[in-house]
Structure 1
Amino acid sequence: MQTLTEIRRLLDERGLTPKRSLGQNFLHDHNHIRRLVDASGVAPGGLVLEVGPGTGALTDWLLERGAIVVACELDEALADLLTDRLAEPIARDRLTLVRGDCLSDKHTLNPALTAALGDRPFRLVANLPYGAASPLMATLATDFHPALRSPAPCLGQFVTIQKEVAQRVRAAPGGKEFGELAIVVQAMAGVGRIATLPPGCFWPAPKVTSEMISIVPRQAPLTLRPDRLERLCRVLFTHRRKQLGGVLGAAGITIDLPPGVSPSQRPEQLTVEQLIALSDRAALFLDDPRCGRPAE
C-alpha cells in the first residue's frame, strides 16, 4: 500500500506537484484509509465509485478487498499516472477509469460515469475533492436512492470531506449550518461520523480538519419527491433569517401551513419533516419548472 514516500516518488517521476486549485491533498494514513474501507462494507465483487483517486492510495485498498472500481479523475496527468500504474486491474476489467468531472452540472452525474456504473448497485467510497463534495453527495442521496428505482442505486456513501462540510450534512434545525444540504440528505438517508482526521494525515497538509462520514439510504425515505424539497429550500433559504410567512408571500406561495408551523418562524427553525410537509402543500407552485430560477 502507498506510503507518503511512494506518493511523493510517483509525482516526482512525472514532474507533478499537488494542485491547490483542484483541492489535491493526498491521504496517506493507512489506519484511516482502512477505517473508511471497513466502514463501507464493500465485499468481493461489489461495485465501488471512487471520485478523485489521485495516485491510487485508496484504490489499492479497494482492489485488495476484491471490489470492482469505477474511478473518476479530473486531472489528466494523474489519470495518465493511474492508467500506467494500474494497467493490470484495468486490463482485467476490475478498474474502469473515467476522465473528467464527476458531475456534468450541479445535479447530474457525468454520463460517462453513469454508463460505466450501468444498472448495478454501487457504493461511493472516496476522499472527495472539496469542490465536488456537496453537490455529489446530494445527487447520489436523491437521484440514486434505491427507493426511487434508479437504474444504478447507491447503497451508501463513505467519504472523507472537510469537517465544515460534514457539519453542514449533519446539521440540526436552528443552527447556522442547517440548510439545503442537510435537509435533502437527511430526508433520504442517515448520516454518521466515522472518524476525524487532523491535517497531518494528508500531504500537503490542508489548513482544515477533515472528517470521514457515512450516508446510508433510509429504507423508507421521508419523501419520494426530493426534487420538490430542493426547490422549496432554494426559495426559503435565500432568505433564511426572514419570517416564513413573508418569504412564502414574496414567492407567491399562498397555502395553509402544516400543523405546528407558524408564519413567524424562520426557515432554519423548521424540522426536516415540517419542510417536507410544506413542500407537499406547495406542490402546485414548486412543480412549476420556473420555480427557484432567478428572474430574467
Structure 2
Amino acid sequence: MDWQTLQKGFESYLKLERSLSQNTIAAYKNDIRKLSGFMAENYAGINPKKTDHEMLMEFVHLTAKSGQEAVSQARMISGIKAFFKYLLMENLRNDDPAELLETPKIARKLPDTLSEIEITAIFDSIDLSTPEGTRNRAMLETLYSCGLRVSELTGLQVSNIRDKLGFIRVIGKGDKERLVPVGGQALKYIAQYRDQIRIHKKIDSKSRDILFLNKNGKGISRISVFNIVKKSALKAEITKNISPHTFRHSFATHLVEHGADLRAVQEMLGHESITTTEIYTHLDRNYLRENILTYHPRNLG
C-alpha cells in the first residue's frame, strides 16, 4: 500500500465521490505528492497506513515555516484530510490521523467590486458598431446579469439559453448544473450577437454549441475575456484592478444591497455553503447610511 498506488484511487474518489473541479483535484494531488516526498525523506518505509498525526503535524509545520501563505496551507490541509478520509472509506485505515489538523485562520478579504455607475460606464464604452464589440457587450452583460465564473461564461452553450423562460443553464464547478435567471438587457445583447453576428461565422466543429466565439470560430478563452474586461475598464477610465470575477462579485453585492435573500444569491452563484455567500453581506457604509437616513421613521419629516 504505497503512496503512489493510493494516489490513483484518491484521484478517482475526488472525481466520482466528491465531484471536485479539475483545478482542485490537481492541487490536492500535488499536496499529497509533497507529503509522500516528505515521508520518503524523513520516514522512509512508512506507508499511508502507518502515518500518524505527529508526522502530519511535522509536515504542516515545515510547510508553514517555508513561507507558504495561509490560504495555500488551508487548501493543503484540506487535501490531506480528504486523502485520509478516502483511506477510511476504502477500509485501508480504521482511524484518521488528519482529523485534528488545525487549519490556519484566514482573514476574510472583501472582494473588489464595481459600483452600478462603473458597470454602466464599462458597458457604454464598448463600440457596438463592430462584431467584436457586440460580442463583448453580450459577454459582459451576461457576466454581470448572472454572476458567472469566467469558465462558466466561456463554456456557455447556445442550447442552454432559455430566452422565453428568462433562464440559462450553467455547468459549474464539479460539473454541477444550475439554472440562473438572466435579465432582459443581457438577453437582448445575447440575441443580437447570436442572431446577427455568430450566425455568419464559420464555426469550428468542436465549438458548434459554444455561444461566445473568437475570430477563428472557436470558443473564446478565459485569457481573452480577461483582456476584454481590462481594455473595457481602461476605456471607461476606471482605474480599479478588475477581472471577469469582479463582475461576479459586483452582481452578488448589488443583489444583497437591494435586499435579495442570501439563500437565493447562494443558489445563483452556485456556492455549496452559505458561509461563502455571506461575504457579500458587506455593504458600503455610505449606502447603509443613506438608506437609514431616508427610511428610518425618526429621520422622516
TM normalised by structure 2 equals 0.23
Scaled by the length of structure 1, what TM-score is found? Answer: 0.23
Q: Which of 1 and 2 has greater Rg?
A: 2
More helix by share: 2
Q: Greater strand share, 1 or 2?
A: 1
